[in-house]
Amino acid sequence: MSPTSAVFELILPVHAEDIDQQNHVNNTVFVRWVQDVAVAHWRALASSEAQKNIRWVVLRHEIEYKKPALRHDRVKLRTWVGEATRITFERFTEIRREADDKVLSTARTLWCPVDAQRGRPVRVSAEIRSQFST
């Protein structure tokens, strides 16, 4: 899962409410982080017009959990876009512990752009595809 486009990073702390009964970050939090970094990447690069007109829905999540994240960790979320077609974007995410750079989780997600007004899949312009993918 090597980057095929520019990598976007976001660093977040682990919060007390992220911890489950097994005393580590719950797997649902990893899913939320995958979404959070994708949204942050979109907001950082997309024009205000694109952000107004396009919403994204997840078609598929594939997540592999490698190591636990713990209460006082800070995590580095790294994401990049793989193949981008007219109506799907493949996105990869790595979640690493900031202190030792160990990979905690990897994910592959397939996203579909949706017209914000009609709620229907929409083709993404070549300009937007080029901003996010090679």
The string of pLDDT tens digits covering residues 6-17 is 899 999 999 999
- pLDDT (average), residues 51-66: 96
**Domain ranges within the chain, ordered by starting residue:** 8-132
| Residue 39 in this model has a pLDDT that exceeds 70 | yes
Pairing of β 8-13 and β 89-97: unpaired
Q: Side by side, which strands form the sheet with 103-115?
A: 8-13, 74-84, 89-97, 103-115, 54-65
| Residue 24 in this model has a pLDDT that exceeds 90 | yes
| Residue 1 in this model has a pLDDT that exceeds 60 | no
Domain 8-132 has CATH 3.10.129.10: yes
Q: Can you give the pLDDT at residue 67?
A: 97
Burial class (CB in 10 A: 0-12, 13-18, 19+), 72: exposed
Cα 98 from Cα 69, distance rounded (Å): 10
Q: Can you give the pLDDT at residue 87?
A: 87
Helix (H) / strand (E) element for 90: namely strand 89-97
Cα 98 from Cα 78, distance rounded (Å): 11
pLDDT digits (tens, 9 = 90+) for 73-130: 999 999 999 988 888 999 999 999 999 999 999 999 999 999 999 999 999 888 887 7
Report helix, strand or coil for 121.
Answer: strand
Contacts of 2 (CB under 8 A, 6+ apart): none
